[in-house]
Structure 1
Amino acid sequence: MKRVLKYFVVMFVLVAFIQKPVFAQPTSEQVQSQKEQLQADKNELKKAQGNRFEVEQKIENLDNEIEEVMNQIAKNKNQILKVQEDIKANEKQYKQAEEDMKNEQDVFNKRVRAMYINGAAAYLQVLVEANGFSDFISRVEAVRSIMQLDKKITENIKEKQEQLNAVKQNLNKKNQELVSLNDENNKKLSKLKSDKVDQSKLIEEAQSQERVYASAVNESQAKLNETMKQIESIRNATPKYTPSRGAVSVSSNTVVAYASNFLGTPYLWGGTTPAGFDCSGFTQYVYRHFGISLGRTTYDQINDGYGVSRDQLRPGDLVFYGKGGSPSHMGIYIGNGMYIHSPRTGDVIKISSYDRSDYITARRVMR
């Protein structure tokens, strides 16, 4: 009986083993196909990311152009106000010259009214009433001096009036030119805003393309997460900075900690406050907090401080991007291959990889 039972147990095990599904090892062709598909996905993701980056660069350039036009419009308005003030001052001088000439003319008329009314008889009367030859000569000289002096005064006032009139005409012409330039800039600004709408549509399209391939490993996101952890550590370990007068030594960590307070702040054309920043307005605001003065625009700030090579970058350095050496965007390097910046219209202050193809240079402004 035991032998029979043992027999059935062995047969059951054999049957179970035979019926157990066996999975074949993948062939080398299958492995190669999977590798190729993975590489293709990565290539498509890189292509989509590159397309979005290209469009974002165009947006940055448009933002920069719009800001330039806005700055030019502001300058033109100031120039127009100055010219208008000059015109008012000139008109005041013009009226004063007219009044002076009128007063001089009244004095002249009172002194020699009889001479104008009676003609030569008045001159004869002056001479006839002379007491002797010496008095006669004196009267002749007096009459001639008065006539010459009055004539000179009148001519001087008229000449001054003509000069002031010429200045007034020139200022009016200049004012018209500035108004015309201001109108042109406003038209240009309207066109740029229209172009900006078109670019925003392209941004949406590029972001849609990237989402299609979002399943691929995103090394940038992993690096960003790591950087955010580092910044949080820095903020927790860095004491609050209190501005003081005079030269101050500022640490890199202090700058990074303060700049990170504005993450999420919206981009704003010409913005220089926490209500909204453009790229250079953000960097200027951060460093002003530490008593360090920077220029207003990227064109100004690229000349602030001193240049540092790419391999010598350290947190707090300003990094610049653009084409042909002309900056169109900038931000603050924070280490770990990342920088904090106010990117473009429709975006917010954020942290991104500093390693862009349009990198130009870096400047160190910390003491």
Structure 2
Amino acid sequence: MNKRLKSLIITVIIISSVNVRIKADPQIENGQSNRIQIFNESTQGQSLEEKKQQLEREIELLDSQIEDLIQKINIDNKNIEQIQLEIKNSEEQLTQLEKELEEENVLFSKRVRTMYMTGKDSYLEALLSAKGISDFASKVEAIKSIMDNDKKILASLNNKKLEIKNKQTVLSEKNEKLLNLKADNEEKLKSLNDSKNAQKLLLDQIKTEQQSSQAKVEIQFNVDDILKQIDSNQNEMEGLSSERKDILKFAVKHMGIPYHWGGTSPEIGFDCSGFTQYVFGNFGVRLGRTTYDQLNNGIQVSKSELKPGDLVLFGYSGSPHHVGIYIGNNCYIHSPRTGDVIRIAPLDRTDFLIGVKVL
């Protein structure tokens, strides 16, 4: 971790902090004004901070749903690619079988000519060349045997041809269903992105209102101070295992890295579950890729039972949409949402779901 990042001060805004409001053309501004009016009506009686926290939770949920859809679309693409490859292979097999059928039909009449009468070109000529009853009967039996064998070969080839055609029909139906599913998922993804962009504009407006009213209170966390606190034996750090402390210090050193959908590395950034998976994976603790997986990756504990180094999950009705790591003092570290960075926040959210002990 470089010196610049170590010395980075990450600000957790309790009431608000904001940079510059996004500029928009008049049409967008008018639409946004309508959204703000609807939102304000639905949250009447709530403080600006409560409205901000609600919007932040909604954006986190949308990010989680978007990430899930992106993964589904990626799976759809792989399945479509595989099915199209199978369709191509079946077409090649069918072409080869048709060629074999054509060749077998040609050989059907040539076999007798080759076996019985060089220069002749039909079964009839083979029979007419018989030298007596016994020879005729012998030729009839031989020709019957050849014809039966050829019929079996032709029947086998035709059956294979039918099987391949049936397979092509099934594959084409699967391909069409997958293409439709992909199109549906892409439409849902667009809708989610539109909703998230609308929520972000609302959030920017709330932050601007907070800033203009000078109702801003900040809690600042200095990386070096936090590392010293983790190494101390005070409060919740007393008796904490060295492994948990190392995990906390490793997590804190990544403060300031941007949120990135599907991100699982410092180079490109992290989403919430990608960050927790990466941190614990560095110490040999395997976590699932999604919040749903990580909910069941250890022993669930209540908020009052949390210890530094436990996972904290947020959501409703047993369905998590966000995850972070508890670091003590009623705070947690997480990769929040689009446009934000890994930071520490107070554990005062109303959508806290459960803690998970993975060590």
TM-score range for the pair, normalised by the shorter chain length: 0.7 to 0.9
Structure 1 contact 234–257 (Cα < 8 Å) conserved: no
Paired position in structure 1 for 2:319: 326
Which of 293, 307, 316 is matched with 1:314 structurally?
A: 307
Structure having the higher Rg = 1
Q: Which secondary structure does the structure 2 equivalent of 1:251 belong to? A: helix
Which residue, out of 339, 344, 353, partners 2:332? 339
- On the 8 A contact 2:291/2:323 being kept in 1, the answer is yes
Residues in 1 aligned to 2:179 and 2:294: alpha-carbon distance in whole angstroms: 30
Q: Which residue of 2 aligns with 1:232?
A: 227
Alignment match, 2:352: 359
**Partners in 2 of 1:72 and 1:166 — Cα distance?**
28
Decide which moves more: 52-61 or 180-189.
Answer: 180-189
* Deviation, structure 1 residue 327: 0.8
Please show how residues 262-273 of structure 1 align to structure 2 within 5 Å.
Answer: 262-273=254-265
Counterpart position of 2:194: 194
- Alignment correspondent of 1:89: 89
- Unaligned segments of structure 2, at least 5 residues: 1-43, 234-240
Q: Which residue of 105, 125, 129 maps to 1:122?
A: 125
Kindly state the Cα deviation for residue 342 of structure 1 after the two structures are TM-superposed. Answer: 0.8
Deviation at 1:186, TM superposition (A): 2.0
Q: Which of 232, 237, 248 is 1:256 aligned to?
A: 248
How far did 1:328 drift?
Answer: 0.7
Distance 1:237 1:357, change over 3 A: closer
Match of 1:21 in 2: none
Cα deviation digits, residues 176-197 of structure 1 (max 9, x gap): 2222222222222222222222
Please give the per-residue CA displacement for 1:321-351, whole angstroms capped at 9, x wherever unaligned.
1112111111111111111011111211111
Distance in 2, Cα, partners of 1:91 & 1:303: 45
| 1:12 match | none
The alignment-based identity, stated in percent, is: 39
* 1:101-151 CA-partner distances (Å, limit 9, x unpaired): 233223213124699x9877436325x335x63x54433221111111111
Q: Is the 8 A contact 2:60 2:337 kept in 1?
A: yes
Name the SS of the counterpart of 2:350 in structure 1: coil
Query: Structure 2: how far apart are the matches of 1:210 and 1:263?
Result: 25
Give the TM-score taking structure 1 as reference length: 0.75
Tell me, yes or no, if structure 1 residue 203 matches structure 2 residue 203. yes
Q: Which amino acid is 1:270 matched to?
A: G
Q: For residue 72 of structure 1, what is the aligned residue in structure 2?
A: 72
Q: Pick which of 319-328 and 177-186 moved more.
A: 177-186
Structure 2 SS opposite 1:211:
helix
8 Å CA contact 2:87–2:171 kept in 1: the answer is yes
CA distance in 1, matches of 2:121, 2:93: 36
Cα distance in 2 between the residues matched to 1:68 and 1:49: 29
Q: Secondary structure at the match of 1:348?
A: coil
User: Which consecutive unaligned segments of at least 5 residues does structure 1 have?
Assistant: 1-43, 239-248
Q: What corresponds to 2:298 in structure 1?
A: 305
Q: CA deviation at 1:83?
A: 0.7
Q: CA 1:250/1:85 → structure 2, altered by over 3 Å: closer, same or farther?
A: farther
1:63 aligns with 2:66: no
Describe the SS at the equivalent of 2:253.
helix
In the alignment, the residues of structure 1 paired with residue 169 and residue 105 of structure 2 have an alpha-carbon distance, to the nearest angstrom, of 26
Contact kept, 8 Å, 1:337 with 1:354, in 2: the verdict is: yes
For 1:170 and 1:233, how far apart are their aligned partners in 2? 63
Q: Assess if the C-alpha contact under 8 Å between 1:268 and 1:345 holds in 2.
A: yes
Distance 2:103 2:109 in 1: 10
Between stretches 92-101 and 337-346, larger displacement belongs to 92-101
1:154 shift after superposition? 0.9
The one-letter code of the counterpart of 1:124 is L
Deviation at 1:229, TM superposition (A): 6.7
- Higher RCO (C-alpha under 8 Å, 6+ residues apart): 2
Where does 1:85-164 land on structure 2 (aligned, <5 Å)? 85-112=85-112, 121-122=124-125, 124-125=127-128, 128-130=130-132, 133=134, 135-164=135-164
What SS does the corresponding residue of 2:336 show, helix, strand or coil?
Answer: coil
SS of residue in 2 equivalent to 1:262: coil
User: Given that residues 231 and 245 in structure 2 are in contact (C-alpha distance below 8 angstroms), is that contact kept between their aligned partners in structure 1?
Assistant: no
AA aligned opposite 1:263: M
Contact 1:295–1:304 (CA under 8 A) maintained in structure 2: yes
Hey, which of these two has a bigger chunk of helix by percent? Answer: 1
Task: Give the TM-score taking structure 2 as reference length.
Answer: 0.76
Distance in 2, Cα, partners of 1:250 & 1:139: 93
SS for the counterpart of 1:152 is: helix
CA contact (8 A) 2:112 2:143 kept: no
**Does structure 2 conserve the Cα–Cα contact (< 8 Å) formed by 1:318 and 1:330?**
yes
2: CA distance, partners of 1:258 / 1:118: 86
Report the alpha carbon displacement of residue 84 of structure 1 after superposing the two structures with TM: 1.6
SS of 1:54 mapped into structure 2: helix
